Amino acid sequence: MAIGTLVGGAMYAGVLVAGVTGALPHGVAGAAAVFGGVLLLAAPINAWWAFLRGLERQDLVYGIYAVSTVALVVAVAVAVQHHPTVEEIFVIYVATFAFRLLATIAVVLMVAPVRLRLTRSAISSLAVAAPAVAGAYVLHEVDSHIDVVLLGFLVPANDVGSYAAAYRVIDAVTFLTAGALSAATFPVFSRLARQAPDQIERLYDRVVRSVTVALVPAVLVLVAVARPLMDLMFSFEDDHAARLVALLAPSSLLIAINFTTMYLALAVNRVGAAIASAGTAAAVNVSANLIAVPAIGVEAAAGATLLGELVMVIAFAVALRRGGFATHAGRSVVVAALALVPPLVLAGAFPSRHVEFALMGIPYAVGMLVAGGLLRRADIRRLRAAVGRRAGSDRARDAGG
């Protein structure tokens, strides 16, 4: 908590300096100064959530997140009736994070009361271990979200807003799938690394298969409902944002797989593989954006995202295999590609009929998942057993099945 808060404070100071010196995109300095306050609150929130996950009480983390998110949605829905400024909306965000922190502390005190002690050995251990893990996570975030920042310097503000809105939809999809699974399985992977390392690969394969089975149909649904979905959520005057959702939709599968793999690598202490993979993907993503967006437009950012995520999948596979970690995740990606490419190509070739081609592609895609061996009824049962709160030996046995 102490180190994280100091880092959050330093990052917030960096935001303020960037705003004062004009290093931020035009017109966002004030909003960034207000919203940057979440950096000071997120550090202790994440620390306590990591503590609860260490106790394998992910259910409490999800509960706090759900309650605070509902409070945020309700507060914003009430506020927009009075036409607030962006800064006023961000004040609501910061207040919601403060509520989230207080709720988290209250839950921790009820579940496992602890006494905070700043010892030299604990600080030294964190100072040695945390930077590498933080570096891997930051590089992953750069790969995932740097395009929105870069677009602020490359395209008009309206295009930035459309792309950012489209990416929020993709973020929501990946959070509900890979985010939830990664949060649930991270402590399990960490425990298995100590108790039953031979079980890890099979559990990881089950997670990847489950994510793939969930997201392959979801990609096609996103393509089909992009226009009404964006109209409902953001009320854009044209279909530009909806088209960006359709272009970004295939990346959601790769983002989810990479998100899951990142947390696996960190849980089993393969930090080097995480840094190398995320760093390579981030470099590719940034380069592709800088080269293609000025020439083609904001749509090129979606292609850069897809390329960066594909590079990360390959980089993770190579890095983990070199470390003796052999899985079948690559096979899941290949089957997913075979399931998605034909209907997506048809939807793109006939824009006026893209809804029909996307929806008709769902039965085909499900058939490919079955034929490829990805749709397995036992996977969900095994995953539920792995993250269930049982004795350690029972969980280790169930995880491997």
pLDDT tens, residue by residue, 25-64: 777 888 888 988 888 898 889 888 888 887 878 788 888 9
Q: Does 151 share its domain with 255?
A: yes
Report the C-alpha gap between 227 and 231 in whole angstroms. Answer: 6
Task: With cut-offs at 50, 70 and 90, classify the pLDDT of residue 178.
Answer: confident
What confidence score (pLDDT) does residue 54 get? Answer: 79
Whether 123 maps to a domain, the answer reads: no
Does residue 122 sit within a domain? no
Helix 271-296 and helix 240-267, axial crossing angle in degrees, nearest 10: 160
- Same structural domain, 97 and 173: no
Asked if residue 19 and residue 134 are part of one domain, the reply reads no
- Does the residue 287 lie in any domain? yes
391 confidence band (pLDDT: 50, 70, 90): very low
Complete DSSP assignment for 121-183: HHHHHHHHHHHHHHHHHHHHHHHHHHHHHHHHHHS-HHHHHHHHHHHHHHHHHHIIIIIHHHH
Does 396 have pLDDT greater than 50? no
Count Cβ atoms within 10 A of the Cβ of residue 236 and give its class: 0-12 exposed, 13-18 middle, 19 or more buried: middle
286 and 230 part of one domain: yes
Let me know if 328 is exposed, middle or buried by CB neighbors in 10 A (0-12, 13-18, 19+).
middle
The verdict on residue 121 lying in a domain is no
The domain boundary residue, chosen from 71, 88, 116: 116
Q: Tens digits of per-residue pLDDT, 226-239?
A: 999 888 888 777 88
For 317-361, write each residue's pLDDT tens digit.
Answer: 998 888 788 778 888 999 999 999 999 999 989 988 899 999 999
Residues in the chain: 401
Q: Could you tell me if 77 and 136 lie in one domain?
A: no
Tokens, residue 78 = 């009430």
- For residues 81-107, give the mean pLDDT: 91
Residue 161, in any domain of the structure: yes
Q: pLDDT-derived band of residue 393, with 50, 70 and 90 as boundaries?
A: very low
Which whole number is the average pLDDT over 234-252? 89
Q: Is the pLDDT of residue 24 over 90?
A: no
Q: Which range has the worst mean pLDDT, 95-99, 356-360, 381-385?
A: 381-385
Query: Which of the 8 DSSP states describes residue 25?
Result: P
Question: Are 102 and 138 part of one and the same domain?
Answer: no
Q: What does 255-286 look like in DSSP terms, one character per residue?
A: HHHHHHHHHHHHHTT-HHHHHHHHHHHHHHHH
Can you give the pLDDT at residue 27?
Answer: 78
237, 378: one domain: yes
- The verdict on 68 and 156 lying in the same domain is no
Tens digit of pLDDT for each residue in 132-165? 888 887 888 888 888 888 898 899 888 898 999 9
Question: Residues 173, 110: one domain?
Answer: no
Poorest-pLDDT segment among 12-16, 138-142, 150-154, 367-371? 138-142
**In the prediction, which pLDDT does 51 show?**
86
**233 and 149 in a common domain:** yes
In the predicted model, is pLDDT for residue 397 greater than 70? no
Q: What angle do CA 173, 177, 178 make, to 5 degrees?
A: 110
For 130, residues 6+ apart whose C-beta sits below 8 A from its C-beta are 3
Of 64, 85, 116, which residue constitutes the final position of a domain?
116
Kindly tell me if the per-residue pLDDT of 400 is higher than 60: no
User: Are 371 and 338 in contact, with CB atoms under 8 Å apart?
Assistant: no
- Is there a domain that residue 288 lies in? yes
Give me 68's structure tokens.
């605070």
- One domain for residues 16 and 142: no
Amino acid at site 65: Y
Question: Is residue 323 assigned to a domain?
Answer: yes
pLDDT per residue as tens digits for the range 261-273: 998 898 888 888 9
Domain that holds residue 368: 129-400
pLDDT of 315 above 70: yes
Kindly state whether residue 124 falls inside one of the protein's structural domains: no
351 and 203 in a common domain? yes
Specify the number of domains making up the chain.
Answer: 2
DSSP three-state, residue 297? coil
DSSP label of 236? -
Q: CA–CA separation, 54 vs 43, rounded Å?
A: 17
**End-to-end Cα spacing for the chain:** 37
Q: Of 82, 116, 150, which residue constitutes the final position of a domain?
A: 116
